[in-house]
Structure formats: C-alpha cells, structure tokens
Structure 1
Amino acid sequence: MGNHLPKPQRFEDKKSRIQQMVIIGDTGADFVKIWVKVPVAGKWTLSLSTSGFSGDLDSMDGKPVAQWLQGQAGIKTYTYDFQKDEGLCHTFNIDELEKNCRYYYLLTSEPDTKITEEGRTVIGDTSAAFFTTAKEHYDEVKFAMFSCHDPYSWAHPKEGAWPELCDVAQRENLDLLIAGGDQIYLDTNKGRMTDLWKCLARHKNELKQKTDEEIKDHLIGLIREYYKIYWNFEALADAYGRYPSYMIWDDHEIMDGWGSRTKEERIKLLRHFFQFDDDAFNLKVVDLAWQAAAQVYFEYQHSHNPWAQASINLSDLSRVHWDYSFQRGDFHYYVLDVRGHHDCEREAYRLLGKDQNARVNTWLNSLSGAKGAFIVSPVPVVHWSGLVDIADFSLSGMKDDLMDEWSHHTNHAERDEFLTDVLKASHDFGVPISFMSGDVHCASAYQLVDMSRFPKAQVSQVTSSPISRKPNPAVANVAVAKSGYMTKEVDGKKVATTVYQKRLFAKSGINNFAIMRALNVDGQNSIEADFYWPGEEDHEIVRKNISLTSGE
C-alpha cells in the first residue's frame, strides 16, 4: 500500500477497473431505470430501439447521436452530462415503453465529448445489448438470487459461479435478478485486496490534516474504486446489463458486522499504536466512512432500485429508507435493509428498526390475492445451529458476524414478532412466502411450520451464498441447523418456540446461486428453488431442485 494514504486514482493501481457499464434496474411493463457508468466526463447518449441499430455506430459521421439515428425507426434517445464529482454514473428513468418488449441499447458519446477510445459507441456496437420490459400478467416467475461477490478472496481472482449464472439465465429466460448483499468487500480478509478499515487506521495522521468534507470526499473516491475493481468481470457485467436487477447491501459494503458492533468496538477498529489515537477522532472517521459508503452504495446500487429518491442527505441518514417492494403481476417482493438502521445497542427492533417493521407489516397485510411472495433478508432467518448462541464468547472475530443473525438471542423478540406476522399472512391469504438470503458463504433451504397457530401457512427460507467469494469449507455443513423447533432465550434459558424448521438442503464448499420459480397451476400456488454450482468438469453445472411448498 505504501507509506501514504492512497489517492483514489492510484488505489490498487495494478488492478484493472470498469470503464463503462450498464445495469438494467427496476423494470415494469412500461418503464425502466437504466444505470450507466461512462469512461470520461461529458455528454453521453443512451439510445433505445425495438429493432436494433445499423450503420457505422463507431463514428456516426461525427453527428449528434439523435441526428444520426433519426432515419431509423422506433428510436428513443436520452442524453446526460456526466460529471467526475458524480462518479461518472447516472440513472436514466425511462417511461412510455411497450410491455413485454425487447429493447436494444447503445451508449455513445456526443461529438464534443473527448474520449480516448477509437469509437464513440462503447456499449452495444460490437455485440448486441438488450433487455426486455415486464409483462402485465404472470402465471409464473423465474429469477436468480445470489450474494457475496468477492473474487479477491482467492489466491488468484476468480469469477466463481458468474459464468454459470449467465448461462442459466439465458437458458431459463429469467424475469429478473436479485443481488442479496455484499456486492463488494471493503474489508476482504485476504491479502489480494486492501482492507479499507486497516488502511484508514494506518493513515490517521494524514486524515487528521484534512477537514471533515475532505475526508468524506476522499473516502467516497476510494470506495468508488472498490466498486470499479470488484465489478470489472465480464460475466457480472453481462448479467446486470441484460436482466432487471434489484440490489440491497449487507455489511461488507460498509464494515464487517456493521450494526452488530457497539460504538466502542467501531472506535477500537481504528486504534493504531503509531497513529493519532484520539477516540473522538476515530469515531468521526467511522461516521464519515459510513456516510461515504452510503453515498457510493446509493450511486452504484440503490439509485436504480424501486422507491429510490433522486439523492440522499448524508448528514441525516437515519431518515433514509433503503428497503423497498415491487411486483411481477400477482407475485410480490419485499427487500429488507438489515444494515442502514441496524443498531445492536438499541433496546428493541435492532435489525430493522421500528419504522421498517411497520412498512413490512403493511406490505404483508396487502397480500390478499397474491400467488406468491418473497422477502429478501440479506441475513437468513434460520441457517446456523447453536453456534450463534456462543457468539458473545468468540475470540476469532466471529462475534459480530453471528450477532448479525436473526437467531442470535439479542434478536429473538424481533425475529419472533416478524415470523408471526409472516406466518399469519401466509395462513390468512393462502399465499406461499419465501425468505431469500445470503451472507453465510454456504447454501441451505428450510420449511418453517407452525401447525399450532398457523396450520395453513407455507413459509420457507432459501439461502444462497457465495457467488464468487471463497466459500466456507465443506466441513461447515456440521454447523448448519438441522430440523427441529426454533428456540428463543427466556430468562437466560433456551426454550422451544412453536415454529418447526425442516431442513431440506444444506451444502458448503461451493460457489452457488439459486433460481427461484413460483407458479400457479389449477389454482394451486407453489414455489421451488434450484440451487446451481460449478461441477468438477469444464462447463459442467450441477443442479439441485428443492420443492418449498410440497410438504413432503
């Protein structure tokens, strides 16, 4: 790393970065949000066509894009002046589209934008780039769920299961993708990538010479580089550039165990014997880094989600809602935020906060007539066994990871209330509901049954992790919770609840993703999951099918 705080443009200077990229974000029958990253500042135009493009897309005869394309049928163009201080990225909000329609797109610089590439069009010229708008009605939905992208956790960077995801997505003609947390690692625990927090601890003397705004701006610049490095993988860009993608963060976009560390533990993370070690300054750096992480998460991930506002107020992040919902016909989705308002020192509602709990409850009460419902919780409701209960005694740095879990005793009251609301909605409305999670670096599936209170409920938990991070070893399967009644702590003692967790699948030691399929056949609603992972042979993909609503 060197002896000085790295400038963003020199950070990890041996690693390549994305120069341009497109993410197809929230998509409906007549609208789409398209996130664009360009290589240089200036005016760039995003062009859409229902029939594709023809002619010299590289030069466009030196004309403005709209003028050059005006003779081609069905063209829509959208221009934005990209700025360096905005990270050279922008989300286009496009409406008045046709339902269930394929749109091809181009990303092209305007004539007065100085570019270093040989041609003006940087996406969509040499190979077709396209997406498809949503249908109005669905009898079935198919989508991918994945999490934990860290190609630098290996001795040599690996794409993990991204190529397999692209193959399966194309074959299955998926409706959408859900990236369920940890799309980058600011604190990867391997030597291949700089740990942001260790870097800050080593360079506090230099930070001390900067104003608060200078520190925050510097950190925003550094975190943008993490995204540009982590997302510079072909299969990842191919997937995000074709299928509507819905994203949510987990802790590693901020700090390992964010929300499960006390204020004292956050301060301790920045203490360094050879650096200025005032705890008030350490806390200020943590708070500024939190603001920077939130800003860049907003730029790269949240700005193209449903409900996303045009900008966020970094000085009052407590008022920002990162959770959201959306639909595909009568199939409903709610994406929980378990980091933005997670506070282990709060008396109650430590994971979600009281306001988010209320919003989710309102959504649950709206599920009458739904054919299926999905709740994205980046950390699973059930996965680990009793290991979670000894988290407070861990000396290996695992304490915060395990305190993240719904199963940790400090979260039992919130978990039990939430599960009761979910089971009741499933029972009352006859709708199967599946939790979808990541975080834990292995895969599992459960049915959650409460015959005494909600006998008609069909609730399940699917966990898929990691897509590219080095997974937990196969032996970790012994720590995955087995079938049995969920427990809670009462007066310091473990007692059984009325919820029975039936383990359907567990596998460690693999990169993986899940394809979720929900359908209605002859009035019967069902959900199933296909887990995929790379096989031992080249181009081999292994699939494990799990029925989540069969009751078998």
Structure 2
Amino acid sequence: MTDTPDRIGPILYFRAAEPHALRIAALVVRPEAERPEDMRVAGEAVAPRLLADCEGRRVWRYDLTLPHAAPAYDFEGITRSVVTDFSGDLRIAFVSCNGEEHGDLGRDAAERNGMWHRLHAQHRETGYALMLMGGDQIYADEATHGHPLSEDWPERLPEATPEALADLEAHLRSRFFERYLRTFSAPGFAEVSAEVPALCIWDDHDICDGWGSLRREATASAIGQLLFRIARETYLLFQHAATEADVPELFLDPEGRSLSWRHELPGLTLLAPDLRSERERRQVMGTAGWRGVEATEGGAHTFLVSSVPLLGPRLSLVESLMMAIPRMQKYEDDLRDQWQSHAHREEWRRMLSEVLRMRKAGPVTVLSGEIHLATRAEMGSGPEQIHQLVASGISHRAPPKTYARCLGALAGLGEAPLPGRAIRIRPLPGQATRYVAERNYLRLERRAGQWRAIWELEQSGPTPAMVL
C-alpha cells in the first residue's frame, strides 16, 4: 500500500440534531503504534474508541455532542467550527460519484478534486450544515485485481479453497482500505469532511460495478459473497464510522439486511433507501428495505435519496434494443441497474406510489446521482407534483456532450409508469438542454422556510435558484 496515507481525518458523520446540540461522530486513522489524543468539546475531553486495524493502521472514532452555544471541537491543536443549529435557515450539499472506474487513484489531484475545492470555498463563505453523499463515494472496481481468485471475476469463477479465500480476504480488505484512505485524504474533500458532517448511502461502485445486476452465479459465489462482506465492512467503517455492533442504532433494519436510514430534522425528513444490500437481478429491495420505506410518513418536507434516479426516461426501449443486438448485450447490467428496467417495472411503480403517499404529508424532493450528468425531473403536476434533482458526479469526469444530447432526445419520448402521472425530464434553470455534461454538485438552501436548489456546474457555474 505504497503512497497510502497512515493518517487521515477527522471525518465527521451526522448522528442526530437535538434541541440544543448536534451529535456527530469523528473518524481518524493513525499508525498502529500511535494512540490519537483526546478531542475537546466545550472544555471537556472526549477519548477515542478503537474500531478496526489493517496493515499497520488503526481506525478510531470519537462520539461528540456539540452544543449550540459552543459549536466547535479541538483536535491536535486545531479548532474547527461546525454548524449545529438545524432549526432555521439551512444549507445542505448533495454530492455523488467521487471517483472513476479505471485509474482513479493515479489521477492528477488538482484535476480530480477541483469541485471539492470549490465546495470547500463555499463552505468557508456560507457554512454548510450537512453533506448528503448519494452513492459511489469510492470506486472499488479495481480492488479485485491482483489476486488469482478475483482477477477475472465475475466472468470467471475458479474453485476456491478455504486457504485461498482467506488470502483473498486479506487482499480485498487491503485494497478497500487503500481506496478509502487515499480517496478520503484527497485535498478539498479532507477539509470539507473535517467541518461538515456527512450522511452516506452506497451504490454499486462502493462494492463493484453493477453489484446485484450481475449474473447470480457470480454474486452468490464464494468470491462474490466475500467481496460483498468486505465492501460492507469498510462501507460501515468509512462512510458511517461504524461497525456491525452499531447497525441497530444507525439503520432502519436492526438486523442489517438493509442499510436504509432515516433522520428527522426540524422541518425536514431525510430518507435513504438502501438499493444495494438486497438487490438481485429481478429485485431492487427486499422485505427489510420496503419495510423502511412503507414506515416513512413524510412531513413538512422530505428529501428522499435514491442512489439510482427514480424519475427517468424510457430506458426500457434501449434495454430491448441492446438485448436484440448480441454485441451490445454486455451493457445489459448497466440498464438492469435502473429503476426503469423491464425487470424492475412493478417495483418501480411500487416506489412511485409510496412517494405519492408521502407527498400527501408535504413536499417530496428526490435526490439522485449515478449518471455523471446534471438534470432534473418532475412527475405529475399541482399539489401532487414530485421533483427530482440529479447531481453527478463531483469528481467523475463528464461523458461526451453527444451522450447527453442523445439521452435528452430519448427523454423527449416521455414516460408514465403510473396512469395520469407523466414523468418529464426538464432542463436545469438557465440551461437549454435536458442534461448537462459537466462535473457538478447540488446546493440545497432553506431560507425563511422555503427550500431552493442550485446546481454548481464546473464550467457554467451556479444555476439560478430553483424553488422547491
């Protein structure tokens, strides 16, 4: 693990907004011979708790309660301020797709992290209270490389002895640690995450490209299940500052079959269904995941994080075309990953119906990433209208503009999975086309009780504000 840092953090994670304080967790990694010093909040010392270790590094967590009267913490001679009061005007960042499938760890840092530097500069000016991370926080696709059991997985499934699987487990854990340590120590991200608590939901690249949409023989194999277990272990560790023991407290399913989560803030409900843990080729969520969605009643305003866009164009047409052309069938997994796939049509309708049910209690805004483009969508009109905002990706380079134009043309055909409630893909404020091929992230701002959205586009700059 050359060039992999021995020390990262603090990285902050949201726990709860209380009437007079904010509860967060702070994660740090240090060499195994070094116990990090205590943090201090309002003059009181907070000791670290050891969570894990790997190849000479240890992962530690601090559980902090920051009072509104003293919204800061001290660590290693640095005092960092944190927005702790969520009751009035509020700023939330939404980001996704923090990397690329191939060669991400070798990219030029200035190029890769340009949008993170922009987000950090804005935070210094305006103060973000929360960062929602909508999936693909790392790109682990190359973690399987370099080991004979997994080098050609999922295409090839070699016989695996217990000894070989144990060796593969050490290899995968080392590779996942490397990706998290290098990605989360990147300039820009490191500064933001030390002052803005995060809430994260994972998507396929946090495991491997297309997890759950690959053929069952691959995901159900001993290699596939080991890969998922290590991905889950490190996802909990680095995206929630948690271990399996923390699952009942942090997620809606206490048994951890689904890692969906929900948080109630003043005037805002945050819901993030887990679209990966129970995913199969003909299933997006299982019983545990659906139970969490059905138990959410909505409220003054609900932000629903769907790592894969919930409102989208008629991709089922493209799926049918690709399946008819043998040399295009290799892209089937990418389309099966979408809610709009033929395989998920009924489940898609079910989710849209649940969102409409929540809409009766108050506005619902869907936040999505995954497609490496910026766009927005609407379903229905009037008092039942649903907005979707897509921001993707913050460091993944944008696809060609011709791809965005082709997708926009497909969106022009329209889609209405629920009778009488058409889905329409709309241009961003100030933009002429439905999809924008620029790196981007989303700013969500509540002013005097009214939410508005602003896309920060790499070349075009901020869009005019859209009232939600």
Which interval holds the TM-score relative to the shorter structure?
0.7 to 0.9
What SS is found at the alignment partner of 2:383? Answer: coil
Once residues 93 and 245 of structure 1 are traced to their aligned partners in structure 2, the CA distance between those partners, rounded to angstroms, is 14
CA offsets per residue over residues 437-483 of structure 1, 9 Å max, x none?
Answer: 1111111111221x5xxx41231111111111122111122214535
CA displacement, residues 60-102 of structure 1 (integer Å, 9 cap, x when unaligned): xxxxxxxxxxxxxx2323144576359511332234x412632
- Name 1:64's counterpart in structure 2: none
C-alpha deviation, 1:501, in angstroms: 2.1
Aligned to 1:89: 59
> Deviations for 1:84-142, whole angstroms, at most 9, x for unmatched residues?
359511332234x4126321321xxxxxxxxxxxxxxxxx43xx34142532623x332
Are 1:512 and 2:453 counterparts?
no
- In the other structure, the counterpart of 1:76 is 45
TM norm structure 2: 0.83
Counterpart selection for 1:187 from 128, 141, 148: 141
> Structure 2: which 5+ residue stretches go unaligned?
429-433
Contact 2:279 2:286 in 1 (8 A): yes
The question of 1:447 aligning with 2:378 is answered yes
Task: Summarize the Cα distance change of 1:502–1:291 in structure 2 as closer, same or farther, 3 Å threshold.
Answer: closer
| Equivalent position of 1:31 in the other structure | 23
Asked if structure 2 preserves the Cα contact closer than 8 Å seen for 1:512 and 1:533, the reply is yes
d(CA) in 2 for partners of 1:511 and 1:145?
13
Pairing 1:142–2:134 present: no
Output the amino acid matched with 1:499: A
What amino acid maps onto 1:468 in structure 2?
Answer: S
| Cα RMSD, aligned residues only | 3.3
The alpha-carbon deviation at position 382 of structure 1 amounts to: 2.3
| 1:127-526 alignment runs, 5 A limit | 128-132=78-82, 134-135=84-85, 137-138=87-88, 140-150=89-99, 152-153=103-104, 156-157=108-109, 158-187=112-141, 195=145, 200-201=150-151, 208=161, 210=163, 212-264=165-217, 266=219, 283-303=221-241, 308-309=246-247, 319-345=256-282, 350-363=283-296, 365=297, 367-368=298-299, 370=300, 372-386=301-315, 387-390=318-321, 392-393=323-324, 395-396=327-328, 397-426=330-359, 428-429=360-361, 431-449=362-380, 451=381, 455-478=382-405, 479-480=407-408, 482=411, 485-488=414-417, 498-505=421-428, 506-521=434-449, 526=450
1:280 corresponds to: none
SS at match of 1:456: helix
- Report the residue type matching 2:8 in the other structure: Q
Higher mean alpha-carbon deviation, 376-385 vs 439-448, is at 376-385
SS in 1 for 2:185: coil
Structure 1 residues 261 and 216, CA gap change in structure 2 (3 angstroms): same
How far, CA to CA, are the matches of 1:534 and 1:502 in structure 2?
21
Contact 2:216 2:280 in 1 (8 A): no
The alpha carbon displacement at 1:285 in A equals: 1.3
Q: Aligned equivalents of 1:504 and 1:213: distance in 2? A: 50
**Secondary structure at 2:62's aligned position in 1?**
strand
Kindly indicate whether the alpha-carbon contact (under 8 Å) linking 2:307 and 2:369 is maintained by their aligned counterparts in 1. yes
User: What amino acid is the match of 1:460?
Assistant: H
Question: Match of 1:32, SS?
Answer: strand
In the superposition, relative to structure 1, how do residues 205 and 482 fare at CA in structure 2: closer, same or farther (>3 Å)? closer
Q: 1:263–1:141: structure 2 CA closer, same or farther, 3 Å change rule?
A: same
Matched, 1:528 2:457: no
Q: Deviations over 1:420-448 (max 9, x none)?
A: 2212321x22x211111111111111122
Pair member with larger Rg: 1
Q: Which amino acid aligns with 1:438?
A: G
What is the CA-CA distance between 1:513 and the residue it aligns to? Answer: 0.5
Pair 1:156–1:103, CA change in 2 (3 A): closer
Closer, same or farther in 2 for the Cα pair 1:352/1:160, shift >3 Å?
farther
Secondary structure of 1:169 counterpart? helix
Distance 1:520 1:433, change over 3 A: farther
Q: Shift of the alpha carbon at 1:301? A: 0.9
> TM-score, normalization: structure 1?
0.72
Per the alignment, do residues 198 and 210 of structure 1 end up closer, same or farther by CA in structure 2, a change over 3 Å counting? closer
The one-letter amino acid paired with 2:275 is: V
Structure 1: tracts of 5 or more residues without a match:
1-8, 51-73, 107-123, 268-282, 489-494, 536-540
| Amino acid aligned to 2:231 | A
> Partner of 1:279 in structure 2?
none
Residue 46 of structure 1 deviates from its aligned partner by 3.0
CA contact (8 A) 1:30 1:99 kept: yes
Which of 12, 17, 22 matches 2:10?
22
Contact 2:160 2:222 in 1 (8 A): no
Do the aligned partners of residues 393 and 159 (structure 1) sit closer, same or farther apart at CA in structure 2, a change above 3 Å counting?
Answer: farther
The amino acid that maps onto 1:288 is: L
Alpha-carbon distance in 2 for matches of 1:377, 1:225? 27
Distance 1:318 1:311, change over 3 A: closer
Aligned residues of 2:26 and 2:61 also touching (Cα < 8 A) = yes
CA distance in 1: counterparts of 2:152 and 2:170, whole angstroms: 18
- Say if 1:292 and 1:257 are closer, same or farther in 2 by CA, change over 3 A: same
